[in-house]
Copies of this chain bind each other. A is one copy, B any other.
Amino acid sequence: MSRDKMFGDNSFSSPCNTLGFLQKNNSLEEKGRLAGQKNLLSCDNSDRDARFRRTETDFSNLFARDLLPAKNGEEPTMQFLLEVVDILTNYVKKTFDRSTKVLDFHHPHQLLEGIEGFNLELSDQPESLEQILVDCRDTLKYGVRTGHPRFFNQLSSGLDIIGLAGEWLTSTANTNMFTYEIAPVFVLMEQLTLKKMREMIGWPNGEGDGLFSPGGAISNMYSVMIARYKYFPEVKTKGMSAAPRLVLFTSEHSHYSIKKAGAALGFGTDNVILLSTDERGRVIPADLEAKILDAKQKGYVPLFVNATAGSTVYGAFDPINEIADICEKYNLWLHVDGAWGGGLLMSRKHRHKLNGIERANSVTWNPHKMMGVPLQCSAILVREKGILAGCNSMCAGYLFQPDKQYDVTYDTGDKAIQCGRHVDIFKFWLMWKAKVSRVDRRVHTCWLKKTEKHLQANKNLHGFPQHTNVCFWYIPPSLRGMPDGDERREKLHRVAPKIKAMMMESGTTMVGYQPQGNKVNFFRMVVSNPSVTQSDIDFLIDEIERLAHDL
């Protein structure tokens, strides 16, 4: 074996080395020349600051194979990445520019057919880097600007610059959360951040456990799994047949992921009992108690109650303390789904809406919603230490060797239902470092007041605002004189989809709609983007009126 070059550049011994005369330390310019690209240095003071030497590279003759790890690949790699960054920073600028549209809508068949040369099909021939850059531009062009201040369509919106930088770094580090060994810094950041979050929940000394998971639905699924493990640990080995018929309780307004968890984990959706709510969408505690008693009478075993802190549609907050009283009385696991509303724990002014959360056994909290962290960033937090590992660990020897040289309690992977786990913590940690006080202020912002004023001022809007969710109907001219009844309801039901369709085509703003219970289709405007101003809300209302005036 030839091993004469410890730590050296080993490309010399590669069989595909056709430029054997190259020296290891040849300059970038030389490399560029040898690789056959034309470099036009555009900055004269490149000595002082070589970092952003801008060369004009012809990418039409370059391919992925010319990038690192290719020999002489450094220069084209850097130029290619700078071109990509140019595309991205232009996109960022436009996202904040109200003179751009939120989207340029096309139907699926139109995009599939290919628009102006944008070909989504995968061919068998590699494309040039020039075409790859065009693909990147087109991908952004035909997408939706979720960071635009007039995008009100989802609970997650906005484009946080610090979070964005954090996510770029995360992808560059390209590692995995399962062991301290390969993610030492990220594992510790996760641990410290989860502790801070538990302190904000109010658990003594921030003790407990937790994980970042790939979204609120998975976080909620964890809560059901660990509740089952707490009361019926033998289910882990014996399956559900080792337990009696277990039932879960959650609001009729709660997120559908509780039902999904019931189906997936083997409880069955019939055993997810939906609780009635008051006119604002909050669980009625007496209904919970009645349904617990009813289940017990039937011989079922109540296991778990989910209280929602910020429901998806109405933004309702269930009364956690009253629900906790009932859970204590009947010895049930209390989970708080704060995927949406959890961010209010950062706000001195609004955190009272989650009073009682410190009595929960587990909490879901998605910083990627109200706190504006880029997708995905969701935490499952657990009061009892060790129970996540107890529930999920399988002690795989190839990852979690007990005889490592460091403290292996930092290897968190065996607590998860995942094996590989994406690094979701860094962007959040970085945002916290950069602006903890702004996060605090952010949730203080009075979107609710602004929109309430709207509803009061505009006689054609009828709605029920709460949290930053504002739900409303727009009553078009043709329905304004019509008496209430089935005909009017049916017609009103069709109004929101019609307006939404026109809105998508026009691309100027986006807001969601849905029916709920006995309410026909209504709009749900949500604000979680700090770029949004009063005039953006004005704009949305104006747009609805403009689009719907002849409905």
Contacts of A422 in B (CB 8 A): 214-215, 375-376, 422
Minimum CB–CB distance from A22 to chain B (whole Å) comes to: 15
A69 to B180, CA, bound (A): 36
Minimum CB–CB distance from A383 to chain B (whole Å) comes to: 21
Output the nearest chain B residue to A14 by Cβ-Cβ distance: B533
Q: Identify 16 residue pairs between A and B in the complex whose beta-carbon atoms are under 8 Å apart, listed by A's number.
A: A1-B458, A6-B539, A42-B43, A52-B86, A68-B96, A69-B149, A81-B89, A108-B184, A111-B185, A143-B186, A156-B176, A240-B266, A240-B268, A256-B419, A378-B420, A397-B516
Minimum CB–CB distance from A548 to chain B (whole Å) comes to: 15
Q: Enumerate A229-277 residues with CB–CB distance to B below 8 Å.
A: 235-242, 245, 255-257, 259-260, 262-271
Contacts of A387 in B (CB 8 A): none
Q: Contacts A139-B426, A410-B108 known; A236 to B214 CB distance under 8 Å? A: no
Fill in one digit per residue for A333-370: 1 if any B CB lies within 8 Å of its CB, else 0.
Answer: 00000000000000000000000000000000000100
User: Is the Cβ of A435 less than 8 Å from the Cβ of B214?
Assistant: no
> Is A325 an interface residue when CB atoms closer than 8 A count as contact?
no
Fill in one digit per residue for A159-178: 1 if any B CB lies within 8 Å of its CB, else 0.
Answer: 10110110111111111100
Q: Which residue in B10, B147, B225 is a CB contact (below 8 Å) of A535? A: B10
Contacts of A193 in B (CB 8 A): 122
With A139-B426, A375-B423 given, can you name 9 additional A-B contacts, CB distance below 8 Å?
Answer: A43-B54, A52-B82, A68-B96, A74-B96, A105-B184, A132-B165, A214-B421, A217-B419, A235-B266
User: Is the Cβ of B146 less than 8 Å from the Cβ of A218?
Assistant: no
Contacts of A60 in B (CB 8 A): none
Q: Contacts A159-B174, A165-B84 known; A126 to B437 CB distance under 8 Å? A: yes
Output the nearest chain B residue to A261 by Cβ-Cβ distance: B417
User: Is the Cβ of B84 less than 8 Å from the Cβ of A169?
Assistant: yes
A11 to B97, CA, bound (A): 11
Question: Which stretch from A288-296, A398-406, A479-487 is at the chain B interface?
Answer: A398-406
Fill in one digit per residue for A118-156: 1 if any B CB lies within 8 Å of its CB, else 0.
Answer: 001111111101011001101110111011010001101
User: Is the Cβ of B143 less than 8 Å from the Cβ of A175?
Assistant: yes
Contacts of A180 in B (CB 8 A): 108
Contacts of A120 in B (CB 8 A): 185, 188-189, 192
Fill in one digit per residue for A536-551: 1 if any B CB lies within 8 Å of its CB, else 0.
Answer: 1011011000000000
> Is A26 an interface residue when CB atoms closer than 8 A count as contact?
no
> Is A91 an interface residue when CB atoms closer than 8 A count as contact?
yes
Question: Which stretch from A30-38, A278-286, A316-324, A496-504 is at the chain B interface?
Answer: A496-504
| Copies of this chain, tallied across the complex | 2
Contacts of A67 in B (CB 8 A): 161-162
Q: Contacts A216-B419, A239-B245, A264-B225 known; A3 to B124 CB distance under 8 Å? A: no
Query: Most B CB atoms within 10 A — which of A263, A410, A513?
Result: A263
The 6 closest A-B pairs by CB, nearest first: A266-B266, A239-B268, A10-B535, A405-B501, A167-B171, A240-B240
A209 to B67, CA, bound (A): 34
> Is A78 an interface residue when CB atoms closer than 8 A count as contact?
yes
> Is A116 an interface residue when CB atoms closer than 8 A count as contact?
no
> Is A13 an interface residue when CB atoms closer than 8 A count as contact?
yes
User: Is the Cβ of A500 less than 8 Å from the Cβ of B404?
Assistant: yes
> Is A312 an interface residue when CB atoms closer than 8 A count as contact?
yes
Q: Enumerate A377-420 residues with CB–CB distance to B below 8 Å.
A: 378, 391-392, 394, 396-399, 401, 403-407, 410, 417-420
Q: Contacts A120-B188, A375-B176 known; A241 to B235 CB distance under 8 Å? A: no
Minimum CB–CB distance from A15 to chain B (whole Å) comes to: 9
Q: Which residue in B263, B514, B542 is a CB contact (below 8 Å) of A401? A: B514
Q: Which residue in B168, B175, B394, B405 is a CB contact (below 8 Å) of A85? A: B168
Minimum CB–CB distance from A227 to chain B (whole Å) comes to: 13
Minimum CB–CB distance from A496 to chain B (whole Å) comes to: 9
User: Is the Cβ of B126 less than 8 Å from the Cβ of A154?
Assistant: no
User: Is the Cβ of B535 less than 8 Å from the Cβ of A3?
Assistant: yes
Minimum CB–CB distance from A87 to chain B (whole Å) comes to: 8
User: Is the Cβ of B394 less than 8 Å from the Cβ of A183?
Assistant: no
A155 to B472, CA, bound (A): 51
> Is A449 an interface residue when CB atoms closer than 8 A count as contact?
no
A468 to B129, CA, bound (A): 30
A68 to B91, CA, bound (A): 13
Contacts of A539 in B (CB 8 A): 3, 6-7, 10
Contacts of A192 in B (CB 8 A): 120-122
User: Is the Cβ of B418 less than 8 Å from the Cβ of A217?
Assistant: yes
